Structures are given as structure tokens and as C-alpha cells.
């Protein structure tokens, strides 16, 4: 099938604009009816738009989210399409917003960690993790003591080796290490 020429597309767009100008109310009603009949599609469109925006402008989005969160502290809309990010940000805020080991503050790198180091065993036993865990902790009022924030690097090192190289580097820096 031959592609429409630019002129043809512009003619079509102009027709739509004219039609909309003359029949604004009817168009609005039709859109509203379509939205009500297709809630899943509406949700999907919003989700996709959010993902696209978020990946292109992560820093601006984060600032925007923080602004939005400040304004909506009492009613973070956890049922909305931004719920996963909001859930994680709320969790990070409750636990200090930085890696307890190295101080990294970039939210993309941060994750929850079981203080007693048995996260893997708990997960095998069916304990929740990721967003389910963040949600569970929110509903519990973010209890302190059992969980802390670590960046993925430190989380990995602590989990795999039982310590993080940062600990030794810090000790060396402060003259506390034997080496």
C-alpha cells in the first residue's frame, strides 16, 4: 500500500481540527465514552507514556516526583500508574535515602536489605521482596531494625561475602586497619 503523502496527512489533520472545532462537545462526549468503555487501554496508554517520559528525562522526572510527593504527602496515590516508583521512593525516604555502607544516594541503585543478612533464605521461605516488600513495610509503618538501605554493589558484596570492601577502605582511610 502506498504511503500517504505529507500533504494528504496534513489535509486529514486539518479536517480533524476543523471537525473538532465545529463539534467540540460531541467529540468530547465520544472520547469520554470511549475512555469509559476501555479503562484497560487508557491505563496502558498512561503507563507507556510514563515509561517513555521517565526513561528520557529521569532526572527531571525524579525532581517532579519529589515535588509531587511533597504536595501529596498524605495521599501518595499508590493506585496510580506511578505507584511502583512512588512505592520505592516512599520506602527509600523512610529508610534514609542512601546506602548505609557507601552513602550512594542514587535511587536507581538503592535496594532494601535484611540487616541480619538472611534475605536469600527468607525469600526462599516465601518472604516478599521488591515492591511487595516495600508495600508490606509501608503497611507496617516502616519498622526500623530489620531492614536497611544498601546500593546494589554493597548489597551484593554483603550478601555474597558477608562483608563489603568499603568497610576495609573506610578503615584504612581512618587508620583503623592493620593493613
Which residues are at the interface with Zn ion (CB under 5 A)? 99, 101-102, 104, 151, 154, 164, 166
To the nearest whole angstrom, how small is the minimum distance from the Cβ of residue 168 to Zn ion?
Answer: 10
To the nearest whole angstrom, how small is the minimum distance from the Cβ of residue 163 to Zn ion?
Answer: 9
Which residue, 82 or 154, is less far from Zn ion as judged by CB? 154
Which residue, 126 or 162, is less far from Zn ion as judged by CB? 162
Quick count: other Cβ atoms within 10 Å of Cβ 120?
13
To the nearest whole angstrom, how small is the minimum distance from the Cβ of residue 84 to Zn ion?
Answer: 22
Query: What angle (nearest 5°) sits at the alpha carbon of residue 134, between those of residues 170 and 43?
Result: 130
Q: What share of the chain is helix, strand, coil (3-state, %, to 5)?
A: 65, 5, 30
Which residue, 87 or 104, is less far from Zn ion as judged by CB? 104
Which residue, 86 or 114, is less far from Zn ion as judged by CB? 114
Q: For 57, what's the count of Cα atoms within 13 Å in the CB-facing half-sphere?
A: 9
Judge whether 157 and 151 are in contact, CB under 8 Å: no
Which residue, 148 or 166, is less far from Zn ion as judged by CB? 166
To the nearest whole angstrom, how small is the minimum distance from the Cβ of residue 56 to Zn ion?
Answer: 27
To the nearest whole angstrom, how small is the minimum distance from the Cβ of residue 151 to Zn ion?
Answer: 3
Amino acid at each position: 500500500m502506498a504511503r500517504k503523502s505529507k500533504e494528504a496527512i496534513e489535509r486529514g489533520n486539518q479536517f480533524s481540527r476543523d471537525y473538532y472545532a465545529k463539534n467540540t462537545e460531541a467529540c468530547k462526549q465520544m472520547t469520554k465514552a470511549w475512555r469509559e468503555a476501555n479503562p484497560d487501554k487508557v491505563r496502558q496508554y498512561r503507563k507507556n507514556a510514563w515509561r517513555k517520559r521517565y526513561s528520557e528525562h529521569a532526572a527531571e522526572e525524579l525532581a517532579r516526583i519529589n515535588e509531587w510527593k511533597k504536595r501529596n504527602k498524605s495521599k501518595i496515590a499508590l493506585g496510580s500508574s506511578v505507584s511502583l516508583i512512588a512505592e520505592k521512593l516512599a520506602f527509600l525516604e523512610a529508610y534514609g535515602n542512601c546506602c548505609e555502607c557507601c552513602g550512594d544516594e542514587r535511587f536507581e541503585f538503592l535496594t532494601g536489605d535484611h540487616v541480619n543478612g538472611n534475605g536469600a533464605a527468607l525469600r526462599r521461605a516465601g518472604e516478599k521482596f521488591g515492591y511487595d516488600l516495600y508495600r508490606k513495610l509501608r503497611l507496617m509503618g516502616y519498622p526500623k531494625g530489620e531492614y536497611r538501605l544498601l546500593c546494589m554493589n554493597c548489597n551484593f558484596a554483603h550478601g555474597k561475602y558477608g562483608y563489603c570492601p568499603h568497610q576495609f577502605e573506610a578503615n584504612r582511610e581512618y587508620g583503623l586497619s592493620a593493613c
